[in-house]
Chain A
Amino acid sequence: MIEARALTKTFGLKLVLKGVHLDVAPGEFVALLGPNGAGKTTLLRILATLARPTLGQVKIAGFSLPQAASAARQKLGVVSHQPLLYSDLSAEENLRFYARMYGLGQYEARLTAVLDQVGLAARRRDLVRTFSRGMQQRLAIARALLHEPEVMLFDEPYTGLDHAAANMLDQVLRDVAARGRTVLMTTHDLARGFALANRVLILARGVIAHSARTSEMGLNGFLQTYERVVNERG
C-alpha cells in the first residue's frame, strides 16, 4: 500500500534521508520510531505529497508520486501534531469545508458519523478555538477520516496531549486500525508505538536501521534494541 524505493531528501547540503526503502502492506499498522532529527517527519511529508523527494520513487495505493499525486491524496488521510483546522470555524464547518475540498457529495451523514466516531457530536457547532488540545486532535482525526482513506499517516499525534486525551487517542487509533486501514505513525512514545503497531521501524540518521514484528518480541527487548541501534548510528 505504501512503497518507497531509494528515497533521498536533501535540504541544501544536509542529507536528511539516505536511500530509504519502505514497504507497508494493506491493513498493516506500522510505527516509525527514531530520535529527533532522524528524518521521520520529512519521510511522512514526502509520503503525504507535501514534499518532493530529491531522488527515489514513491507509490501510495498504487499511484506513483509526483505524477499521480492528486489521485494518491484521495486515498490518504493525514494527522500531524498540528490540527490543520480553522479555529474561527465550528467543528462541523471545518468538516464541511474539507468535505467540499475532497469532492464528497451528500456529506452531512458522513460528518455526523465521523463526529460520533471521535466523540465530538455534542460539540459540533462550537468554534474550534474553544476546544482543548485533545478535542482538536480528535477533530483532526475526524477530518482525516472524512473521505474514508485507505492509508492513514500520523505524525506525532500525541504531541501536547495529557494522559486522558492520549488514552482516548489510543482508542481512536485502534478503531481506525480495526477497520482495515493501513497506518503509518511516527511517535517518540516508544511503548505506545510498540503497543499499537503490528510492526515497528527504527529510523536513524536518515536510514531505516531496524524492522521488527511486535508479535515476535517483547517491549523490553525492543527498547534494548532501540537503544543499541540508535547508539550505533550515533
Chain B
Amino acid sequence: MSAVNAYARTVAAVLWKDLTAEIRSKELLSAMLVFSLLVVLIFNFALELDKAARENVMAGVLWVTAVFSGTLGLNRSLALEKDRGSLDGLLLAPVDRSAIYFGKVLGNWLFMLTVQVIVLPVFSILFNRPILNPMLIVILLLGTAGYAVIGTLLASMAIHTRAREVMLPILLLPVTVPVLVAAVRASSAALINADWEDIAPWFNLLLSYDVIFIGVAYMVFDYVVEE
C-alpha cells in the first residue's frame, strides 16, 4: 500500500471513529448546538436594531456564535481523548502522527458545520435575512476550516495543562484574529451581495491563512503531542 493510501486510511479511520462515537453519545453536538442557539437568541433580543444596524452586526453575531460553540467542541473533543487515555492509544499507532491530527481536524470541522447548518435557518428567521448565498457558504466553509485547523492544534497543547478549559480560548482567540477578521468582513460583504472586488481581499486572506496553518500544523503536531 502506498504511503499516500496509508496516510488517507489513517485520516479516514480517525474520522470514522470520531463520527461513530459522536453519533452514539451526541455529547459534543448537543452542547455546541444548544450553546449556539442560545447565543443567537440572546443577541437577537439584546440588540434592538433598525435594518441598517442589523445588517452591520449580522456577520459579527454569526461568527461569534460559530467561534464560541467551536471552542466548546474543540475543548471537549480533545479532552475526551485525554481523559480516557485514548490519545496515547492513537499516538502508539505506527502512523504519521499528522494523519491523526488531520482526522481530528476533519471531525471537528464537520461538527462545526453541522451546528451551522442547524443554526443558520434560525439566524435567518430572527435577523430576517436570506442566508442561502453561495459566497457566504464558501466563506463559512473556509472560516470554520481555519478555526478547526488552528483550534485542534492548540487544543492538543491545552489539554496537557491544568486549566485547559480556560487555556484554549486564551491561546486560540488571539491566534485566530486574522481568520476571524477576514471571515467577518467577507461575510458582511457577502450578506449584502457586495461585488467580488469588495470580498476578494478578505477571502484571499482567509484562504492564505488556512493554507499556512495547515502547513504549520503538519510540521509541528508530532512535537506538540510528544512529552
Contacts and interface: CB of A to CB of B under 8 A. Distances in A.
Nearest to B21: A88
Interface residues of B, number: 28
A85 B22 CA distance: 15
B85 A100 contact: no
B129 interface: no
Given A80-B85, A80-B88, A86-B84, A103 B94 contact: yes
B13 interface: yes
A148 to B, nearest CB: 13
Interface residues of A, number: 30
Contacts of A49: 91-92, 226
Contact of B21 (A51, A73, A89, A102): A89
Contacts of A84: 84-86, 88-89, 92
A131 interface: no
A215 interface: no
B24 interface: yes
B227 A89 contact: no
A15 B12 CA distance: 40
A50 B10 contact: no
A74 B10 CA distance: 14
A78 B94 contact: no
A225 interface: no
B81 to A, nearest CB: 9
Contact of B84 (A45, A51, A82, A93): A82
Interface of A: 45, 48-52, 70-71, 73-74, 76, 78, 80, 82-89, 93, 97-98, 100-103, 127, 143
